[in-house]
Structure 1
Amino acid sequence: MGVDADRRYLLGALGLIVTFMAGEVVVGLVANSLALISDAGHMLTDASAIVLALIAMRMAARPPRGAYTFGWKRAEILSAQINGVTLLVLVAYFTYEGVHRLIEPADVAGPLVLVTALIGIAVNAAATWLLAKANRASLNIEGAYQHILNDMYAFIATAVAGLVVWVTGFRQADAIAALVVAALMAKAGFGLLRDSGRILLQAAPADLDPDEIGALLARQPAVLEVHDLHVWAVTSGYPTLSAHVIVEPGSDCHQVRTALAGLLDERFHIDHTTLQVDHGPGDAAATHAEPQRHCSDPHGPRHRRTSV
């Protein structure tokens, strides 16, 4: 499945969300329902996530040139950060309004809230189905998918609130539903900021352990030591590794590098690697001497072969 197909799925979901969101704001104002308006705010962030994802996909397709040696692949990470911050700003507003309405409940048109929320569940289900067909390895697409899925749960809460207000007259149910929506938005916002922040700070991807990787490389034939090991992600789904590898005197550096690169691809699915391979000292005692002769300032842990 290519980028063009992903773009069509995103545009389809965007059309559904924007159309319903505009109607929901109007109905929310007429029904005086904070739950509906907060749902619309959540849908606004869903739409923003999709728009930013579309822009980021277009930017990421630009080839590397000049100072941008990786191209614009991190554009999607910046858009994820913007989307996460926007979610948390809305969380603060809806939490404040929700607490205020718990204390001073407003009159809410329960039947109107219920009907609108039921339509919202159907719209979100359709949008979720469209995004589920796209490539969710992208942090933007996965983030938009999770937002819309959470929004569907929020509409369920709103529908329950509308039913409760209609049947029992318990007006605070609307504010409680709005606080539930705010909690879902907070979860999604923090998740986006956490995952995109790891990439911006060049942390190793959550599913990769640099110590495990270094220890495995050090156990390979002819390898004496691995240091300056860096594992990071250029963007979501793009793990990258670089390392300085010391090998036995007389061994074939090119052969070792090829074998290690193949191992990293097969075992950890890291296919973008930069390995500097050098020969170690000529005698076994010097092999384990401190400091390592080939690097005056080795970064991070030094993974050594336990026996020679």
Structure 2
Amino acid sequence: MSTGHDHGHGAAGFNAAFAIGIGLNMAFVVVEAFYGWRINSLALLADAGHNLSDVIGLVLAWGAALASRLRPNARHTYGWKRASILAAFINALLLLVAMGSLAWEAVHRLQSPEPIDGLTIMLVAGVGIVVNTITALLFMRGREGDLNIRGAFLHMAADALVSAGVVVAGSLTLWFGWTWLDPVASLVIAAVIVVGTASLFKQSLHLLFDGVPESVDLHEVQALLEALPGVARVHDLHVWAMGTSEIAMTAHLVMPEGHADDAFLQRATGQLHDRFGIEHVTLQVMRVPFTTPCARSDDNTRLSDPRSVPRTVP
């Protein structure tokens, strides 16, 4: 048996980013909500609500990143790595619910538009562009390797674009007196955020149910294992995400004529890590399969292969 334990802790380097991002956005939420209430701007109030949900999301993401660093014990042998997946899912769910409420209110406001202060909207939203851009840049370098960090980056980058849209809406309202533009801008904000959040929601839900991460092609993993010298068949191949930045894999290698020494297992583990980013690899080697193979719905060849029928061990 070979088990690789080259665990990544990329999220650990973002403690300062989380602290700064939460502080900046919380301060901006207070400012934006105050001026939104003062001038009766639904666009500002909506964006303040969304930024508040982002603060909550950043807190969840930070807590999950810290939890994922807790050492495994006898009751949690993988530790708390999945907390980062759960945080990403809750973050996406909160955003979708918040945007649904925003769209509902915007539709009602669109039926009876109210006058607003376009200049104040432009100034406050301009501050939002700066705050959200700075926060997004804090998470930019970690967006490729961690779904949790990527969620934080995408939200902040999207917020910067949304704030820019609010500035445009405020300027048009100021120049042309289009009072209907405020609720319309709110609907556009909701649509943009829902589109950006849908992917995060889908991916986090997929990983919560032990789905194969998008970066891994299961058929290519099986082909790599079957191409190893001495391997006749591969049974019980499972790949799942332990967290938002760490992938695990288990498999049974049927090697009737061969012998898997340390060099063989080290080479196989290294290839899986280098090609697919799988960090936690467990391989069980057997000369004759003695367990019932797990049959996938997309693997008809294994079901029809008479050699796959397991032998009974007395």
TM exceeding 0.5: yes
Q: Is the CA contact 1:208–1:268 (under 8 Å) kept in the aligned structure 2?
A: yes
Secondary structure (helix, strand or coil) at the match of 2:234 reads: strand
| Displacement after TM superposition at 1:148 (Å) | 0.9
Residues 96/279 of structure 1: CA separation in 2 closer, same or farther (3 Å cut): same
Secondary structure (helix, strand or coil) at the match of 2:244 reads: coil
Residue 92 (structure 1) aligned with residue 100 (structure 2): yes
Mapped partners of 1:30, 1:38: distance in 2: 14
Residue 252 (structure 1) aligned with residue 259 (structure 2): yes
- Say what the alpha-carbon RMSD is for the aligned residues: 2.0
Equivalent pairs, count: 291
Q: State the TM-score, normalized to the length of structure 2.
A: 0.87
- How far does the alpha carbon of each residue in 1:259-306 deviate from its partner, in whole angstroms, 9 at most, with x for none? 3223212322213111111114xxxxxxxxxxxx533344333499xx
| Displacement after TM superposition at 1:256 (Å) | 3.9
| 1:111-150 equivalence runs, <5 A | 111-133=119-141, 137-150=145-158
Q: Is the CA contact 2:237–2:249 (under 8 Å) kept in the aligned structure 1?
A: yes
Secondary structure (helix, strand or coil) at the match of 1:120 reads: helix
Q: Which amino acid aligns with 1:252?
A: H
Residues 82/67 of structure 1: CA separation in 2 closer, same or farther (3 Å cut): same
Q: Is the CA contact 2:253–2:285 (under 8 Å) kept in the aligned structure 1?
A: yes
Residue 54 (structure 1) aligned with residue 62 (structure 2): yes
Residue 181 (structure 1) aligned with residue 170 (structure 2): no
Secondary structure (helix, strand or coil) at the match of 1:174 reads: helix
Mapped partners of 2:85, 2:47: distance in 1: 25
Give the number of the structure with larger relative contact order, counting CA–CA contacts within 8 Å between residues 6 or more apart.
Answer: 2
| Displacement after TM superposition at 1:16 (Å) | 0.9
Select which of 21, 24, 29 maps to 2:37.
29
| Displacement after TM superposition at 1:112 (Å) | 1.1
The equivalent of 1:65 in structure 2 is 73
Runs of 4 or more consecutive aligned structure 1 residues displaced over 6 Å after TM superposition:
none
Q: State the TM-score, normalized to the length of structure 1.
A: 0.88
Residues 119/262 of structure 1: CA separation in 2 closer, same or farther (3 Å cut): closer
Secondary structure (helix, strand or coil) at the match of 2:278 reads: coil
Q: Is the CA contact 1:42–1:185 (under 8 Å) kept in the aligned structure 2?
A: no
Q: Is the CA contact 1:84–1:188 (under 8 Å) kept in the aligned structure 2?
A: no
The equivalent of 2:236 in structure 1 is 228
Structure 1: where are the runs of 5+ without partners?
Answer: 281-292
Residue 266 (structure 1) aligned with residue 262 (structure 2): no
Mapped partners of 2:282, 2:13: distance in 1: 32
Structure 2: where are the runs of 5+ without partners?
Answer: 1-8, 306-314
